[in-house]
A = this chain, B = another copy of it.
Amino acid sequence: MNNQIYKVTLIHNGQKKEMTCPQGTNLMELLQENKIYLEAPCGGKGLCGKCKIRVESGNLSELTSDEDRLLSNKEKAEGYRLACSTWIMGDAVVSLDDSSDTAQIVSRGLEYSVDINPSVSKEFLTIESPSVEDQRDDLKRLEDALNMRYTFIPLGLMQRLPSLLRDNDYKVTAVYDRNNILAIESGNTANEQYGIAVDIGTTTVVCYLVDLVNGKQLDVASRLNAQKSYGGDVISRIAYAADKAEGLKRLQMEITSQLEEMIKGLASKNKIELEHIYNIVIAANTTMIHLFAGLPPEHIAAAPFTPVATRLMVYPAEQFGVNINSACRIFVLPSISGYVGADIVAGILSTGMDKSDDLSLMIDIGTNGEMVLGNKEGLISCSTAAGPAFEGANIRNGVGGVAGAINTVRLEDDDIRYTTISGMPPIGICGSGIVDVLAVLLDAGIIDETGRILPADEIESEIGKKLKERLTEVDDMPAFIIAKGEETRSGEPIVMTQKDVREIQLAKAAIAAGTRVIVQKMGKSMGEIKRLYLAGGFGSYIDKRNAVRIGLLPKELEHQIIAVGNAAGTGALLSLLSRKLIQRSNIIKTMVKYVELSTSPEFQEEYVNCMYFD
């Protein structure tokens, strides 16, 4: 390594970005430093092959054996590399596919209505000016105009109070929450009042910009979680936070600065002053909350799975490192346990199942699977380490819900038909496509009830026989070709391998077994459940029949399934609009009983049973 500094140019979304670095810099780290985040479920270890980037020109390190294995010949020929396995050896130009750092998000679902009463108020005041007969101090004048006593006011604001009053001829707008004065603004700004609802997923971050006066959702932005390149699941992020020097600080900085940027982007796009954004409500899983708040997450990772805190947190945004304005506060919704987070609390809030007479089940399939069962009498929850198979991770050709992902698969005219997101040539298969293909292969008798991909000569069904030519071998394993090489971007076929089937079996068994356990623990039967709320983006795209077919969801509930989309985001949004719902989230926290599955014999038994396909 020498001291030479090289220039790396990134082409992305039609724009060029110049970066500089010394010789020997890892390309993934260079991108991270420049706030460009590639998916890397393996945490940049050269195992998952997801962090693909194309080299247009320049001098880079030699192809590694990992890359040789994980990239197709066509990709190699086109100059694709894995960013984690590439080091800068001279000036270079690289390009990213346009879909790489945006994520689709689903916000449809339940209809809801809520009284608009956010945890912040604004009031335009005309304050009496002082006279020798009326020597009340400035703060007292303000309090009297607000008809308040025992207010709390930040010291910095009190310092600016005299000029704020006099420069505006004693006409100002007070921003406050109960008796807590947050800001004083010049003139009448009572109608300029905005908030941000946030769902920090392990994979995706979604921000909703909301007008707190009329309750309207003005805009939404979603991005892949900037922490993605430090590991795809919560366990690898926790390991990074715990094991690397400044690891927690770095992960916190990534998510807080990402949130700050997303909010600034929304404000700028919608021509809203940052000064007028007062409340940010966050729903997230417990680990994401720890990383966001800088709370050491390591004791969540291993038994007894102890979080630092699960309560509702309210602090000034700047204390988290999110710099919007000095009056802006962040409300982090409460969690239940280390693996049932505020995203689930927010989901419960959005469905209203905590207030219903009817028994409801909510299943949130994301990077993990969480289930909640109950009604207004009480709720019971559990979490399964189902893994991110349904997000495409640990699946050979799995991808997230990005452009070019195969998202539906069906049998038609005795052959496989598929669609892709945005209709692009296929680059891989996402969760809903994975469920479909598995159901198709079960229906066609190509996979048996144990999950084995049958050899061609064992296939008995008519339709199965017609699909025989799609059977192949990959890495000495049986595999089924979903998209042929000539159809795909890389030129290599998109397949489902025997190992992929096993991954999905493990994941669906965990979710199905967890569901059965909490139903038993509550002394109920599946038949008593009136509604199954399916949360998460995956739940919205999934084919319900196929999800039941593969045993992911209980067959008794096939016609009770309601896809509620990003229920966590919806819950955060409702909490942003109503202080009563923030209080309700605290009540929900106390209503939900958590069942630990990892030490439960019932779960172990059900898990084995659920591994089979009926």
Contact assessment for B135 and A594 in the assembled complex, using a CB-CB cutoff below 8 Å:
yes
Since A135-B337, A162-B298 are in contact, a sample of 20 more A-B pairs with Cβ atoms closer than 8 Å, ordered by chain A residue number, is: A130-B304, A132-B598, A134-B304, A135-B304, A135-B596, A136-B306, A137-B306, A137-B308, A137-B309, A137-B311, A138-B299, A138-B307, A155-B293, A155-B313, A155-B320, A158-B293, A158-B295, A159-B294, A162-B306, A162-B308
Copy count, this protein chain? 2
Residues on the B chain within 8 Å of A594, using CB = 135
Asked whether A140 is an interface residue with its Cβ less than 8 Å from the other chain, the reply is yes
In the bound assembly, the distance between CA atoms of A305 and B136 in angstroms comes to 9
Contact assessment for B132 and A309 in the assembled complex, using a CB-CB cutoff below 8 Å:
no
Contact assessment for B304 and A155 in the assembled complex, using a CB-CB cutoff below 8 Å:
no
Residues on the B chain within 8 Å of A338, using CB = 135
Contact assessment for A310 and B137 in the assembled complex, using a CB-CB cutoff below 8 Å:
yes
User: Within A278-327, which residues are at the interface with B (CB < 8 Å)?
Assistant: 293-296, 298-299, 303-311, 313, 315, 319-320
In the bound assembly, the distance between CA atoms of A268 and B140 in angstroms comes to 40
Asked whether A139 is an interface residue with its Cβ less than 8 Å from the other chain, the reply is yes
Asked whether A2 is an interface residue with its Cβ less than 8 Å from the other chain, the reply is no
Pick the residue among B132, B296, B319 that contacts A596 (CB under 8 A). B132
Contact assessment for B307 and A137 in the assembled complex, using a CB-CB cutoff below 8 Å:
yes
Contact with B along A156-189 (1 / 0, CB 8 A): 0011011100000000000000000000000000
Asked whether A599 is an interface residue with its Cβ less than 8 Å from the other chain, the reply is yes
User: Within A236-295, which residues are at the interface with B (CB < 8 Å)?
Assistant: 293-295
Residues on the B chain within 8 Å of A131, using CB = 304
Residues on the B chain within 8 Å of A138, using CB = 299, 306-309
User: Within A453-509, which residues are at the interface with B (CB < 8 Å)?
Assistant: none
Residues on the B chain within 8 Å of A140, using CB = 309-311
Q: A308-B139, A309-B138, A311-B139 are in contact. Are A155 and B319 (CB under 8 A)?
A: yes
The interface centre, meaning the residue of A132, A295, A304, A309 with most chain B CB atoms within 10 A of its CB, is: A309
Residues on the B chain within 8 Å of A299, using CB = 130, 138, 162
Residues on the B chain within 8 Å of A130, using CB = 299, 304, 306
In the bound assembly, the distance between CA atoms of A134 and B599 in angstroms comes to 13
User: 27 A-B residue contacts at CB 8 Å?
Assistant: A130-B304, A132-B305, A132-B596, A132-B598, A132-B599, A133-B304, A134-B304, A135-B304, A135-B338, A137-B310, A137-B311, A138-B299, A138-B307, A139-B308, A139-B310, A139-B311, A140-B309, A140-B310, A140-B311, A155-B293, A155-B313, A155-B319, A161-B309, A162-B295, A162-B298, A162-B308, A163-B296
Residues on the B chain within 8 Å of A158, using CB = 293, 295, 308-309
Q: Give chain B nearest CB distance to A164 CB in angstroms.
A: 11
User: Nearest chain-B residue to A136 (Cβ)?
Assistant: B306
Contact assessment for B309 and A135 in the assembled complex, using a CB-CB cutoff below 8 Å:
no
Residues on the B chain within 8 Å of A132, using CB = 303-305, 596, 598-599
Residues on the B chain within 8 Å of A155, using CB = 293-294, 313, 315, 319-320
Interface residues on A, range: 35 or more
Q: Give chain B nearest CB distance to A310 CB in angstroms.
A: 5
Residues on the B chain within 8 Å of A305, using CB = 132, 135
Pick the residue among B136, B159, B293 that contacts A296 (CB under 8 A). B159
User: Nearest chain-B residue to A141 (Cβ)?
Assistant: B306
User: Nearest chain-B residue to A310 (Cβ)?
Assistant: B137
User: Nearest chain-B residue to A132 (Cβ)?
Assistant: B304
In the bound assembly, the distance between CA atoms of A594 and B132 in angstroms comes to 12
In the bound assembly, the distance between CA atoms of A252 and B163 in angstroms comes to 18
In the bound assembly, the distance between CA atoms of A162 and B136 in angstroms comes to 47
In the bound assembly, the distance between CA atoms of A425 and B136 in angstroms comes to 49
In the bound assembly, the distance between CA atoms of A162 and B300 in angstroms comes to 11
Contact assessment for B308 and A135 in the assembled complex, using a CB-CB cutoff below 8 Å:
no
Contact with B along A533-551 (1 / 0, CB 8 A): 0000000000000000000
Q: Give chain B nearest CB distance to A612 CB in angstroms.
A: 29
Contact with B along A131-153 (1 / 0, CB 8 A): 11111111110000000000000
In the bound assembly, the distance between CA atoms of A294 and B163 in angstroms comes to 13
In the bound assembly, the distance between CA atoms of A308 and B141 in angstroms comes to 10
Q: Give chain B nearest CB distance to A157 CB in angstroms.
A: 11
User: Within A312-367, which residues are at the interface with B (CB < 8 Å)?
Assistant: 313, 315, 319-320, 337-338
Residues on the B chain within 8 Å of A307, using CB = 137-138
Residues on the B chain within 8 Å of A137, using CB = 306-311
Contact assessment for A159 and B293 in the assembled complex, using a CB-CB cutoff below 8 Å:
yes
Q: Give chain B nearest CB distance to A116 CB in angstroms.
A: 26
The interface centre, meaning the residue of A155, A305, A338 with most chain B CB atoms within 10 A of its CB, is: A155
In the bound assembly, the distance between CA atoms of A338 and B161 in angstroms comes to 16
In the bound assembly, the distance between CA atoms of A136 and B137 in angstroms comes to 47
Q: Give chain B nearest CB distance to A389 CB in angstroms.
A: 26
In the bound assembly, the distance between CA atoms of A159 and B161 in angstroms comes to 33
User: Nearest chain-B residue to A314 (Cβ)?
Assistant: B152
Contact with B along A595-614 (1 / 0, CB 8 A): 01011000000000000000
User: Nearest chain-B residue to A252 (Cβ)?
Assistant: B159
In the bound assembly, the distance between CA atoms of A134 and B303 in angstroms comes to 11
User: Nearest chain-B residue to A336 (Cβ)?
Assistant: B135
Q: Give chain B nearest CB distance to A156 CB in angstroms.
A: 8
